[in-house]
Amino acid sequence: MAGSDPEYSKVDKIIESYSFEKSALIAILQEIENLYNYLPDWALKYVSEKLNVPMTRVYGVASFYDAFHLTPRGKHLIRVCLGTACYLRGSARVLEAVERELGINDGETTPDLQFSIQSVRCLGACALAPVMIVGERYFDKMTPTKVRRVLKRVQGRNEKN
Amino acid sequence: MKKIRTPEELEALRNSLLQQRDPNKPCVRVCLGTGCRARGSVDVIGAFKDEIKRQGLAIKVDSKQTGCHGFCERGPVVVIGPKEIFYQRVKPRDVPEIVSKTLLNGKVVDRLLYVDPATGKKTLYEYEVPFYKKQRRQILANNGRIDPTNILDYIAVGGYQALAKAITTMSCEEIIDTVEKSGLRGLGGGGFPTGRKWRLCRKAAGDTKFVIGNGDEGDPGAFSDRSLMEANPHSILEGMIIGAYAVGANQGYLYVRAEYPLALKHLQIAIDQAREYGFLGNNIFSSGFDFGIKINRGGGAFVCGESSALVASIEGKMGEPRAKYIHTVERGLWNKPTNLNNVKTWASVPLIINNGADWYAKIGTEKSKGTAIFSLVGKVNNTGLVEVQMGTPLKEIIYDIGGGILGGKKFKAVQTGGPSGGCIPEELLDLPVDFERLTEAGSMMGSGGMIVMDEDTCMVDVARYFLDFLQYESCGKCVPCREGIKRMLEIVTDTTAGRGKEEDLELLQELAETVKDFSLCGLGKTAPNTVLSTLRYFREEYESHVRDKKCPAGICKDLIEYFILEDKCTGCGACLKLCPQQAIQGEPKKLHIINPAKCIRCGICRDACPYEAIITR
């Protein structure tokens, strides 16, 4: 199955760039995650085979670290900071508002693969607390009311594209 | 570029740089730390570059990007040398005026100056701003001065001279003696004497040794490591090279959170430049010493701040700690002797080598030397990065530097040490901050988060918040941590939901002490600190949740209801329109009423009310 499939050869290139080094497992998975925004099943199996690392360990690492996701994620990643500074200034209410507006829970993706919500613990931009990031863009001093406006803007841009 | 092989060559390079650089030439320094960046400082530096080009001033003035200046609250921050005029909240549209007025004519743009809210006085210079005045910035000294992506900037301020001195004039033992005598302790929070650690690693059997820089700052509310890595990466590298030489390591690793892309980028640039100039690579300063540094991106696990878990992660495994009857200095990475220090600790080393152990030992308290860096955040006016001498009272940090409590509210507690730390109440505000005092108070230094809480903070909810974080981050290897934190979380969650029972508090205390005593690693051992310290200092808040089913701070959703005050409501309808539950009823210009059965306590109505008519009770 591998060999000719272009997706497999992309992963091949990554593994080769780390010289099939077993200790580079995390770095390899990070690059695959960057490529697909999540870790597809087939890629995990393939890495396990190519590195000669048992699937249990590959899966262990993939499910241990927050940087990895085992299901596909949306086009727009919405990160709501739940770091202590943001939390004290009401970011839990901001997260609830995002969940309510999009009809999904933290960690989930909308069925149309447009939005994913991910709460994070501190982005280090505490002066902007509570902070929310859509894609790469920071929105500061968030409130549940502002959430609706920000999401409308993102959705509006989306329809134009 | 020719590699630097001797201290004389380094000195000559520095002198030629200083000669080329006119200290009186106007220079704009724009902060591109994450805080200012999020507020748009990339556009500000772009505007400066465009405007300088447009006016044809490239020969007359300089502009550079720097790392974090620390005063994130007032970002984007711009400082104009040589006079060090300090502008805050600068927008791209302010730029043409700054260029023509300040850069060209030395005149001040009044509206961009910082106004001290306490006195109403405007301050002209960076060093006059109260936020900076009481700080002692030595690790962060060059943060806002140098371009972190340009090694020549670092060399111009004396960079790599400590390395030259250490390698060419000191023996490994002398370096370790100096570090030991300085009293430097692990600034990642552990506070282990750095010199002693180095000595243990040097003495450990084996030819292959490693050094590691820990930049996996996982504490929510702490960003000092990130700011340092972004703003002055070479200072960390220089410390690591000196340390590696002293302990006898030839390979170093920097373990950095993947969530810190800018830090990763700047460190990689710094490593490449240091290699180009011969500070990394083979035969450094013609001494025969070889050393290289690799960067590992962390996978986003809090437990990887723990040394043995971090080592496992570099080896490509799950970040599970192991019992430490054998220390990492004897058997660490790939079972070889490994010396791991926090990036702030590494960055302190060049200062000590340059200025001497006695200089460093004079700063601070009896047992805690030097400075401490805190991310001052939460309900405080001046959010930012603060470096103070060890022993500075909490009050001074929160009120003189931090400008007091946000919105004139009443102070309730300050939490230090992140999820591993504890909450310190008002009666201890005079506490001098150092490793010992914070531990005695039931908290710890940790990686330097200092989170200020006001009267609107519910301490039971704070305990729940940290337990929730820790139960998620617990690696699950040992039972006390994995099960104990979960059970504590259940009890505290019940308390916040009004299901708490009187006897729960005793059980919580007992459980907390058990988890503290029997967990395998630092995560579990310190996890109960927030519970223990809040039970110790804020027991009455737990009691009102349990006995009266009330949340005095008005935070715990199950114990409060939103209510509209009759005398303040004008019937404007702002709340009614925004309520996502259609829980508010009322005719225009008449009193509105919230239906508690429909209300989900999201607080949107309270934010929307222009008359402060909506309260929680």
* B371 Cβ neighbours under 8 A, 6+ residues apart: B136, B137, B138, B139, B363, B364, B387, B388, B389, B390
A145 lies in some domain: yes
Mean pLDDT of B168-195: 96
Q: How many angstroms separate the CA of residue B550 from the nearest CA in chain A?
A: 19
CATH number at residue B175: 3.40.50.11540
A148 lies in some domain: yes
Is B317 touching A (CB cutoff 8 A)?
A: yes
Question: What's the pLDDT score for residue A161?
Answer: 52
Residue showing tokens 């040992």: B478
Please answer yes or no on whether A83 and B469 come within 8 Å at the CB atom: no
Number of domains in chain B: 5
Is B75 touching A (CB cutoff 8 A)?
A: yes
pLDDT at position B324 over 90: no
Point out the domain boundary residue: B493, B511, B546: B546
Is B257 touching A (CB cutoff 8 A)?
A: no
Predicted-complex ipTM score? 0.91
pLDDT by residue (tens digit) across B217-239? 888 888 999 999 999 999 999 99
User: Do both B312 and B185 map to the same domain?
Assistant: yes
For B221, which of A30, A85, A93 is closest by C-beta distance? Answer: A85
Please answer yes or no on whether B218 and A121 come within 8 Å at the CB atom: yes
For B301, which of A64, A84, A124 is closest by C-beta distance? Answer: A64
User: Do both B405 and B494 map to the same domain?
Assistant: no
**Percentage of chain B with pLDDT > 90?**
87
pLDDT at position B489 over 90: yes
Residue B446: list chain A partners with CB under 8 A: none
| Closest-CA residue to B317 (of A19, A101, A57) | A57
- Domain holding B113, by residue range, is 8-133
Question: What's the pLDDT score for residue A18?
Answer: 95
CATH number at residue A104: 3.40.30.10
User: CA A103 → CA A88, A96, A97, B283, distances in Å?
Assistant: 25, 10, 10, 60
B138 lies in some domain: no
Query: How far is Cα B551 from Cα B557, in angstroms, rounded to an integer?
Result: 9
Q: Alpha helix locations (H) across A65-143? A: 84-88, 91-102
B260 lies in some domain: yes
Parallel, antiparallel or unpaired: strands B371-378 and B449-454? parallel
Q: How many angstroms separate the CA of residue A90 from the nearest CA in chain B?
A: 10
B189 lies in some domain: yes
On whether the CB atoms of residues B542 and B460 are closer than 8 A, the answer is yes
* B16 Cβ neighbours under 8 A, 6+ residues apart: none
User: CA B614 → CA A100, B487, B601, B606, distances in Å?
Assistant: 22, 36, 12, 5
User: Do both A46 and A86 map to the same domain?
Assistant: no
Q: How many angstroms separate the CA of residue B398 from the nearest CA in chain A?
A: 15
Q: Which residue of B has its CA nearest to A125?
A: B35
B150 lies in some domain: no
Which residue of B71, B259, B467 to mutate against A (max A Cβ within 10 Å)? B259
Determine which helix (DSSP H) or strand (DSSP E) holds B339, and give its type and residue range: strand B338-342
CB atoms within 10 A of CB B554: 17
User: Do both B217 and B262 map to the same domain?
Assistant: yes
Is A103 touching B (CB cutoff 8 A)?
A: no
Beta strand spans in B145-291 (E): 210-215, 251-257
A69 lies in some domain: no
Residue B469: list chain A partners with CB under 8 A: 121
CATH number at residue B95: 3.40.30.10
pLDDT by residue (tens digit) across B372-431? 999 999 999 999 999 999 999 999 999 999 999 999 999 999 999 989 899 999 999 999
Point out the domain boundary residue: A64, A96, A111: A64
| Closest-CA residue to B218 (of A24, A62, A123) | A123
Please answer yes or no on whether A67 and B299 come within 8 Å at the CB atom: yes
Token duo for residue B279: 């500070």
Residue B222: list chain A partners with CB under 8 A: 122, 124
**Percentage of chain B with pLDDT > 70?**
100
Mean pLDDT of B196-207: 96
For A127, which of B314, B317, B383 is closest by C-beta distance? Answer: B383
Question: What's the pLDDT score for residue A3?
Answer: 53
pLDDT by residue (tens digit) across B57-76? 888 888 999 999 999 999 89
Point out the domain boundary residue: B454, B484, B511: B454
Is B476 touching A (CB cutoff 8 A)?
A: no
Number of domains in chain A: 2
Is B301 touching A (CB cutoff 8 A)?
A: yes
Question: What's the pLDDT score for residue A2?
Answer: 52
Residue A25: list chain B partners with CB under 8 A: 316-317
| Closest-CA residue to A71 (of A104, A101, A105, A33) | A33
Which residue of B296, B297, B460, B604 to mutate against A (max A Cβ within 10 Å)? B604
Query: How far is Cα B127 from Cα B312, in angstroms, rounded to an integer?
Result: 44
User: Do both A113 and A134 map to the same domain?
Assistant: yes
Query: How far is Cα A61 from Cα B320, in angstroms, rounded to an integer?
Result: 11
Please answer yes or no on whether A127 and B72 come within 8 Å at the CB atom: yes
Residue B299: list chain A partners with CB under 8 A: 26, 30, 61, 64-68
| Closest-CA residue to B113 (of B122, B105, B104) | B122
- Sheet strand arrangement including B85-87: B62-66, B27-31, B78-81, B85-87
Residue A27: list chain B partners with CB under 8 A: 296-297, 316
Is A83 touching B (CB cutoff 8 A)?
A: yes
User: Do both B331 and B252 map to the same domain?
Assistant: yes
* B20 Cβ neighbours under 8 A, 6+ residues apart: none
- Domain holding A22, by residue range, is 6-64
CB atoms within 10 A of CB B122: 13
**pLDDT confidence tier of residue B562, bands split at 50, 70 and 90:** very high
User: Do both B294 and B252 map to the same domain?
Assistant: yes
Q: How many angstroms separate the CA of residue A145 from the nearest CA in chain B?
A: 6
pLDDT by residue (tens digit) across B532-559? 999 999 999 999 999 999 999 999 999 9
Please answer yes or no on whether B299 and A30 come within 8 Å at the CB atom: yes
Please answer yes or no on whether B35 and A140 come within 8 Å at the CB atom: no
User: Do both A32 and A80 map to the same domain?
Assistant: no
Q: Which residue of B has its CA nearest to A129?
A: B378
Is A42 touching B (CB cutoff 8 A)?
A: no
CATH number at residue B463: 1.20.1440.230
User: Do both B255 and B313 map to the same domain?
Assistant: yes
User: Do both B101 and B222 map to the same domain?
Assistant: no
Is A5 touching B (CB cutoff 8 A)?
A: no
For A128, which of B35, B226, B319 is closest by C-beta distance? Answer: B35
Question: What's the pLDDT score for residue B190?
Answer: 85
User: Do both B209 and B168 map to the same domain?
Assistant: yes
Is A136 touching B (CB cutoff 8 A)?
A: no
To the nearest 10 degrees (0 to 180), the angle between helices B224-231 and B233-247 is: 90
A1 lies in some domain: no
Sign of the alpha-carbon dihedral angle for B107, B110, B114, B120? positive
Question: What's the pLDDT score for residue B106?
Answer: 86
User: Do both A89 and A156 map to the same domain?
Assistant: yes
Amino acid B288 reads: G
Of the listed ranges B110-119, B175-184, B528-537, the least confidently predicted one is B110-119
Q: What is the pLDDT along chain A (161 residues), one digit of tens a residue?
A: 455 688 999 999 999 999 999 999 999 999 999 999 999 999 999 999 999 999 999 999 999 998 899 999 999 999 999 999 999 999 999 999 999 999 999 999 999 999 999 999 888 788 899 999 998 889 999 999 999 999 998 888 766 55
User: Do both B534 and B565 map to the same domain?
Assistant: no
Which residue of B41, B43, B210, B223 to mutate against A (max A Cβ within 10 Å)? B223
Please answer yes or no on whether B316 and A61 come within 8 Å at the CB atom: yes
Q: Which residue of A has its CA nearest to B384?
A: A127
User: Do both A80 and A144 map to the same domain?
Assistant: yes
Q: How many angstroms separate the CA of residue B78 from the nearest CA in chain A?
A: 17
Q: Which residue of A has its CA nearest to B334?
A: A23
User: Do both B517 and B496 map to the same domain?
Assistant: yes
For A126, which of B39, B318, B375 is closest by C-beta distance? Answer: B375
Amino acid B392 reads: T
For B604, which of A30, A82, A145 is closest by C-beta distance? Answer: A145
Is A126 touching B (CB cutoff 8 A)?
A: yes
User: CA A19 → CA A14, B272, B311, distances in Å?
Assistant: 9, 21, 21
Token duo for residue B342: 């926090």
